[in-house]
Amino acid sequence: MSLLDLFIEAGNLKKLPRTGWLLRGVSNPESIADHSYRVALITLFLADELRAKGVEIDVERALKIAVLHDLAEARLTDIPLTAQYYLDKGKAEKKAAMELFIRTPNPREYFRLWREYEEGLSLEGRLVKFADKLEMLVQALEYEKAGFRDLDEFWGALDSLRESEFYEHFRELVEELAGLRKQNR
């Protein structure tokens, strides 16, 4: 197995739809790669802003986590909540992530980064989790603006943004999002 195989397999993320939108009637929803891209973009700006505010954060580490955090879905697909009730997604992702990283020069490092996200073990891992939720809500906002209507339950994630350790730093951003959402309705 080579790095090229890994790059080819990552191509699955472009083909696979985000099933949460699909199941609520968004007919051609974004791909997993679409989502991951904006998570990385958001992570970049939030991490830099934290650093500017004097928070000690490793931006390289945060970006790597953002790029890697959904890679296991290249094998697992985007398993929706309705399925997670029946399947041990966490365990499966862990195993798939390990086997994917085995092909790389630094399997240990990448797997540790992946766990930092999954288990919230580092500031950087938790920041990507914050960015992951924020990204989903920005997308929900866009779909609702376009006319889609069955997306209420996604907005529960707003609470977890507000309860996050990062909320004090990005309160304005989160509340601006919440405000735009109200206008949409």
> Segment 65-84, which members bind a second copy (CB under 8 A)?
67-68, 71, 75-77, 79-80, 82-83
Going 16 to 22 to 26 to 32, the CA torsion angle's sign is: negative
C-alpha dihedral, 134 to 26 to 179 to 133, nearest 10°: -10
Binders of a second copy in range 114-143 (CB under 8 A): 134-135, 138-139, 141-143
Whose structure tokens read 């990385």? 40
* Long-range interactions of 90-98: CB distance < 8 A, separation 24+: 90/118, 93/118, 94/118, 96/72, 97/71, 97/72
Q: Which of 1, 60, 108, 153 binds a second copy (CB under 8 A)?
A: 60
Distance CA 64, CA 151 (A): 30
State how far the Cα of 75 lies from the Cα of 44, in Å rounded to an integer. Answer: 26
Judged by CB under 8 A, does residue 30 bind a second copy? yes
How near is the Cβ of 127 to a second copy at its closest, in Å?
A: 14
Please pick, from the candidates 42, 57, 123, 161, the single residue that binds a second copy as defined by CB under 8 A. 42
With CB under 8 A as the contact rule, the residue among 102, 121, 149, 160 that binds a second copy is 149
Q: Which is nearer to a second copy, 159 or 172 (CB)?
A: 172
Is residue 178 at the binding interface for a second copy, with CB under 8 A as the rule?
Answer: no
Task: Using CB under 8 A, pick the residue from 112, 118, 167, 173 that binds a second copy.
Answer: 173
